[in-house]
């Protein structure tokens, strides 16, 4: 599922964000922001990752404020026969989306042999037990179903609006102040 920050959410880490919830249990929640670019190029990170050669360059997304040194790759599993049998230790989010922290996928991406659809993030969004439920109760977030097209096919700066549109919400008309009676 997606969490869509309501316009009144002014936390600089989450303002105007779309968060893909990757895991949600009684112990808390884990997600990745999918609409905020941290760095326009991952080339400055390659030396630190001990990657010597690259044939492509990709942006680095801001996944969230927790563990900003940790990388995560969201990707659509390989569809072509060329890559059949390649495997990265991953967590399945749905049939068409998985997440990994595997360095091998970054090596393949840098070499131009990685998955066709992916995003690379640093950091994650995390909530302690009950924290996300509280934030939902006070209307900090809208909930939308996960749509891979929003992650991979929509321009980054259009994802917040596209996620809200997917549930019929016009963010410019959203009333987010409580009245008193």
Query: What are the structural domain ranges in the chain?
Result: 2-165
Higher pLDDT, 106 or 33: 33
Higher pLDDT, 178 or 18: 18
CB atoms within 10 A of CB 56: 12
Residue of 157, 34, 156, 49 whose CA lies nearest to 110? 49
Query: Over 90: is that where the pLDDT of 84 sits?
Result: no
Q: What is the pLDDT of residue 180?
A: 54
End-to-end Cα, the chain, rounded Å: 34
Query: Over 90: is that where the pLDDT of 166 sits?
Result: yes
Per cent of the chain over pLDDT 90 is: 66
Range 75-80, long-range pairs (CB < 8 A, 24+ positions): 75/99, 75/100, 75/105, 75/114, 75/115, 75/117, 75/118, 75/119, 76/115, 76/116, 76/117, 76/118, 76/148, 76/152, 77/115, 78/115, 78/116, 79/116, 80/116
Which residues, in sequence order, are bridge partners of residue 125? 31
Q: Once rounded to an integer, what is the mean pLDDT over residues 132-143? A: 95
Q: What is the pLDDT of residue 50?
A: 75
Which parts of the chain fold into alpha helices (H)? Answer: 43-46, 103-110, 131-137, 148-152, 159-165
Q: Whole-prediction pTM value?
A: 0.90
Q: Model confidence at 68, in pLDDT bands (50, 70, 90)?
A: very high
Query: Over 60: is that where the pLDDT of 54 sits?
Result: yes
**Residue range 2-165, CATH number:** 3.40.1740.10
Q: Once rounded to an integer, what is the mean pLDDT over residues 44-58? A: 80
Pairing of strands 97-100, 18-25: unpaired
Report the range of poorest mean pLDDT among 31-40, 45-54, 110-119.
Answer: 45-54
């Amino acid at each position: 599922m997606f969490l869509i920050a309501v316009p009144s959410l002014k936390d600089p880490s989450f303002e105007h964000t779309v968060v893909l919830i990757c895991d949600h249990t009684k112990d808390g929640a884990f997600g990745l922001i999918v609409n905020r670019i941290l760095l326009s190029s991952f080339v400055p990170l390659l030396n630190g990752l001990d990657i010597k050669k690259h044939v492509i360059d990709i942006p680095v997304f801001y996944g969230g404020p927790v563990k900003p040194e940790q990388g995560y790759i969201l990707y659509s599993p390989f569809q072509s026969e060329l890559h059949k049998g390649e495997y990265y230790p991953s967590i399945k989010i749905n049939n068409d989306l998985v997440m990994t922290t595997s360095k091998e996928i970054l090596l393949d991406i840098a070499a131009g042999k990685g998955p066709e659809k992916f995003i690379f993030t640093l950091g994650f969004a995390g909530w302690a037990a009950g924290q996300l439920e509280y934030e939902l109760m006070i209307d900090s977030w809208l909930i939308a179903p996960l749509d891979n097209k929003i992650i991979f096919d929509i321009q980054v700066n259009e994802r917040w609006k596209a996620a809200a549109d997917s549930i019929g919400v016009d963010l410019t008309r959203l009333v987010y102040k409580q009245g008193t009676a």
